Amino acid sequence: HTKLLSELVKQPDNSTCADCGAPGPRWASWNIGVFLCIRCGGFHRRIGTHITKVKSISLDNWTPEQIEHFRRIGNKRANAFFNPHPD
């Protein structure tokens, strides 16, 4: 799982935090399908697991279904849905 997620996070649309744009995200909200920096991952954890479910890209275990969700969604698609007008 770590290798697959590492490949996904290297893609241009996923190489920065979905929320703040910081480079090199190491966390992810697996139910939303976005990669996050550690700071934004902390914010997501405080929002609550009933809304966003955060895991480490390299430290936590991932199911094949969770990884597949990232292949379908990713930062660009999720931000277009959840934050279509960032200005």
Kindly report, residue by residue over 8-34, the tens digit of the pLDDT.
999 999 999 999 999 999 999 999 999
3-class DSSP assignment, residue 36: strand
> Does some domain include residue 87?
no
> Does some domain include residue 29?
yes
| Helix locations, 30-73, DSSP H | 38-47, 64-72
CA angle at residue 30 from 67 to 62, to 5 degrees?
Answer: 45
Model confidence, pTM? 0.91
CATH number of the domain to which 65 belongs:
1.10.220.150
* pLDDT higher than 90, residue 84: no
What residues make up the domain containing 53? Answer: 1-82
Quote the number of domains for the chain: 1
Residue range 56-68: mean pLDDT, rounded: 93
> Does some domain include residue 27?
yes
Can you name the residues that pair with 34 across neighbouring β-strands? Answer: 29
> Does some domain include residue 16?
yes
